[in-house]
Structure 1
Amino acid sequence: MLTKQQAAAAVRDAKAELGITWRQLADTVGRPVAWTTAALLGQHPMGEQEARAAASLLDLEPEVEASLREQPYRGALGHQVPTDPTVYRLHEVLEVYGPTIKELIHEEFGDGIMSAINFRLDVRRESDPQGDRVVLTLNGKFLPYQW
């Protein structure tokens, strides 16, 4: 059995070789693009039909398809502090703004957390005269602490 990281590498290689976009993969799988991308990079298990559809589009081996269905070790990026500049900047955003986000969630909702399980993510481009901007929407269900 391939590891999730090995399967993700096979997905990336096939995607590049075939010129397929994450959006095309999401449309084929029938799930949102952020979820599909995360699943194909090893952060979510895919259902049998989803894995089969992705593997078929990418012309992947059965071992890769099987790995796509396996339960992942979520958040396992391999580094304590990310070194990829984009991932590091997101880490930096949470280091700088995490306490603020926490305070604002508590003030608005009470004692609890934003779910990363019942969660939606959107990434879009916003035109700006000073340079296009990246707009990230993190949309998680509020889960109150229950003591």
Structure 2
Amino acid sequence: MAQNKVNIVSQLQALKDKSGKSYTQLAEETGLTNVYVAQLLRRQAHLKPETAPKLRAALPDLTDELLLEMAKPPLRSYDPNLIQDPTVYRLNEAVMHFGESIKEIINEDFGDGM
């Protein structure tokens, strides 16, 4: 299953690269956020039926098979080596440094979610 995800993500990334469009450009064309588009193309988010035609318009080479795969619930995962990337490391460090305070403020303002 994990290898299948790797293959699908590879195909999706190749389509994005072939289009020459950035995540921000794709977001503008689809009415989504750039992070959500990136999550879709990395199979970390679920493609909703109403979003599929917009994504296909932005990436015309997107096949029916890939759209069907993207419509399935994602198998969220990450590469454990990702933490070695300097940007990801610093983001993780920021969450670890500010996380407790941010959590307290969220709980104060919105409750604890229970």
- Per-residue deviation at 1:66? 1.6
| 2:95 corresponds to | 94
| 1:25 corresponds to | 26
| 2:75 corresponds to | 73
Aligned counterpart for 1:59 among listed residues 54, 58, 61 = 61
**AA at the equivalent of 1:109:** D
Is the alpha carbon distance of 1:110 and 1:45 closer, same or farther for their aligned partners in structure 2, counting shifts above 3 Å? closer
Q: Once the two structures are superposed, what CA deviation does each residue of 1:101-121 show, in whole Å capped at 9, x if it has no partner?
A: 223334x33751xxxxxxxxx
**AA at the equivalent of 1:32:** T
- Per-residue deviation at 1:62? 2.8
Q: Which has the higher helix share?
A: 2
Aligned CA RMSD, in angstroms, stands at: 2.8
For 1:3 and 1:93, the matched residues in 2 are separated by 33
Q: Is the 8 A contact 1:4 1:68 kept in 2?
A: no
Gaps of 5+ in 2: none
For 1:101 and 1:35, the matched residues in 2 are separated by 23
3-state SS of 2:51 partner: helix
| 1:13 corresponds to | 14
Q: Which has the higher strand share?
A: 1
TM-score (norm 1): 0.59
- Per-residue deviation at 1:71? 0.5
**AA at the equivalent of 1:98:** G
Number of residue pairs the alignment of both structures matches: 112
Q: Once the two structures are superposed, what CA deviation does each residue of 1:49-84 show, in whole Å capped at 9, x if it has no partner?
A: 42344245251333222211110133x113287233
Is the alpha carbon distance of 1:68 and 1:97 closer, same or farther for their aligned partners in structure 2, counting shifts above 3 Å? same
3-state SS of 1:48 partner: coil
For 1:4 and 1:40, the matched residues in 2 are separated by 11
